[in-house]
Amino acid sequence: MRDEKTTHFGYEEVAVDEKAGRVRAVFDSVANKYDLMNDLMSFGVHRLWKRHTIEISGVRRGQRVLDLAAGTGDLSARFSGLVGAEGEVIFSDINAAMLEQGRERMLNEGRAGNLHYVQADAQYLPFPENHFDCVTIGFGLRNVTDKQLAINAIYKVLRPGGRLLVLEFSKPTNKPLEKLYDLYSFSLLPKIGKVITGDEESYRYLAESIRMHPDQETLKGMMEHAGFERCDYFNLTGGVVAIHRGYKL
């Protein structure tokens, strides 16, 4: 019997057991143009957002890092260099097409020794408890069906002293910027997606999924609910993006 509980897929209400498949189809569609679209959508600023995430991660040589929703590996590549040969980075994504794109990129860049690839759902992580020094999820939490379930799962696999960093689109901190951002997201972004990938609807979904994602204070509360302590967040580009950080103590 089908579970009749619903969740959001952008602005659309769908059955809980349908969302993962719908999200998978979006990323199957855009995987081969993912990096190009990231540069175009953010005017290249996504690289600075990711650099700041790395800088505040506290990751050091010899540590274990889990990079969820790794995409094509911008964060994983940086972490691979930081942890060195004695460390380990798990490059993970729920989407097989994205995982393959990322694996191919890492191999082409000669990053192989300390990187391991795992297709996994952030809600049900196939890793031991108390295992990782740092878990990151960049621009992926908003696509997870049950965000609280994922945050709880991340808490379990972090070792005491470990930290979670969530890099995600968030809520702009002033109204003029919010209005400009809405205009860009709903009028221009889907058109760019249509020209570059031939898929306007996937980028319309991405714009809607950002608006449905919890705002800064709500996400902070969700992390605290999971058990994280010393939770804080950093607004970037006027709150268009935020980095949330919490520790398992």
Is 93 annotated as belonging to a binding site?
yes
Sort 236 into a burial class: Cβ within 10 Å, 0-12 / 13-18 / 19+.
middle
Is 199 annotated as belonging to a binding site?
no
Task: Please state whether 17 falls in left (phi above 0), alpha (psi between -120 and 50) or beta.
Answer: alpha
In the chain, what is the greatest distance between 2 CA atoms, to the nearest angstrom? 49
Is 72 annotated as belonging to a binding site?
yes
Is 17 annotated as belonging to a binding site?
no
Q: Which residues are annotated as a binding site?
A: 72, 93, 121-122
Q: Which residues are annotated as a binding site for S-adenosyl-L-methionine?
A: 72, 93, 121-122
